[in-house]
């Protein structure tokens, strides 16, 4: 069972959060895109996405961002997300495997704020999404 971080004193500089393997199925992508009103085929149909010049149907960027948020909350359930900035460097294609890594890069014990670097990469270890989150703990 994974250890949950309960307070800032539990956090170590350079600590890596448990790797998160997000559900990148086309079904999940399509359902999420529909929920947020993005009905375009580029999120729900590989063939039609290819007709648009993509490598396949894409995962919505905000879903990947939301996965990072969930990853942090699983590690530190008591934390409050203060900000998250994600850069979409390249498309995340549905039905392919990706992993999400996060590393603690700053701990401000006075303000009780932690900064975390975020990376989402494919099986070739190519970065697809990167970013930074600040959490209160």
Partner 1 sequence: MIADIERLQEKYLNKDFDVKNFLIEAETTVRFAWLSGETHPKFIDTDHPDFQAPPTFVGSLAGSRILPSDFPRFGVGMDAGKSVECFAPVRPGDEIIGKSHLHEIYAKTGRSGRMIFIVTRIEFYDKKENHLANSDSRIVIAERQHGN
Give the nearest distance from C-beta 122 to partner 1 in angstroms.
Answer: 18
In the region spanning residues 20 to 59, those forming contacts with partner 1, defined by CB under 8 A, are: 20, 22-23, 28, 31-32, 35-37
Indicate the helix (H) or strand (E) that contains 121. Answer: strand 113-122
- Residue 30, classed as helix, strand or coil, is helix
Contacts of 37 (CB under 8 A, 6+ apart): none
Size of the site for partner 1 (CB under 8 A): 31
127 binds partner 1, rule: CB under 8 A: no
Residue closer to partner 1 (CB basis): 56 or 61? 61
* Total residues belonging to the chain: 137
In the region spanning residues 66 to 85, those forming contacts with partner 1, defined by CB under 8 A, are: 66-67, 69-71, 73-74, 77, 80-85
87 binds partner 1, rule: CB under 8 A: yes
User: Quick one: which of 88, 112, 113, 137 contacts partner 1 (CB under 8 A)?
Assistant: 88
H helical segments located in the chain: 26-35, 46-51, 61-75
Alpha carbon 77 to chain centroid distance? 16
Task: Please check whether residue 96 is in contact with residue 122, taking contact to mean a CB–CB distance below 8 angstroms.
Answer: yes
The residues binding partner 1 (CB under 8 A) are: 20, 22-23, 28, 31-32, 35-37, 61-63, 65-67, 69-71, 73-74, 77, 80-88, 131
């Amino acid at each position: 069972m994974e250890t949950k971080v309960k307070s800032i004193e539990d956090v170590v500089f350079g600590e890596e959060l448990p790797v998160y393997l997000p559900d990148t199925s086309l079904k999940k992508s399509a359902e999420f895109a529909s929920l947020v009103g993005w009905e375009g085929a580029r999120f729900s149909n590989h063939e039609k996405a290819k007709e648009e010049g993509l490598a396949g149907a894409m995962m919505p960027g905000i879903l990947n961002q939301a996965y990072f948020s969930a990853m942090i909350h699983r590690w530190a359930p008591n934390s409050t997300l203060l900000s998250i900035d994600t850069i979409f460097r390249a498309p995340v294609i549905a039905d392919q495997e990706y992993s999400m890594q996060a590393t603690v890069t700053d701990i401000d014990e006075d303000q009780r704020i932690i900064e975390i670097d975020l990376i989402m990469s494919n099986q070739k270890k190519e970065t697809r999404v990167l970013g930074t989150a600040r959490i209160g703990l």
